[in-house]
Amino acid sequence: MSSPVAAGQAIVGLSHRNRGQFVALDAATGATLWTARGREGDNASVVRAGDVLWLSTTNSELIVARALPTRREELRRYSVAGSAMWAHPAIAGRAIVVKDVDRLIVWTVDGGR
């Protein structure tokens, strides 16, 4: 239910392993470059904005990370909604729009809501 994205020479997405695990694969060979800790949920989305990945989880977290060749560098992790999220976040200028079960929520990059 989640779509992977291209990030440099890698394809970054969510695996069903370990109850939801972000993973990066070498686009040319299919070899695993890195895997995240797991237990991120049944569904997650990956959005790439420049060299930054915005990863949203079923557990209503938004993870900001960089996809490096051998690992994921997690920059921040935010709780952004009150119930499960299944939709991809939308990035529009300085705003990030997330949708949980009942609401559409707009966050601004400077930390406001």
Residue 1 pLDDT = 61
Residue 83 pLDDT = 93
Count other C-beta atoms under 10 Å from residue 104's C-beta: 11
Structural domain boundaries in the chain: 5-80
111 pLDDT band, cuts 50/70/90, is low
**Residue 17 clears pLDDT 90, i.e. is over it:** no
Indicate the pTM of the whole model. Answer: 0.83
In percent, the amount of the chain with pLDDT more than 90 equals 39
Q: State which amino acid sits at residue 106.
A: V
**Residue 4 clears pLDDT 60, i.e. is over it:** yes
**CATH for the 5-80 domain, from 3.40.50.300, 1.10.1200.10, 2.40.10.480, 1.20.120.1200:** 2.40.10.480
Those residues whose C-beta lies under 8 Å from the C-beta of residue 113, and which sit 6 or more positions away, are 105, 106, 107
20-74 residue pLDDT tens:
888 999 999 999 999 887 777 777 888 888 888 998 888 899 999 987 878 889 9
H helices present in 3-92, as ranges: none
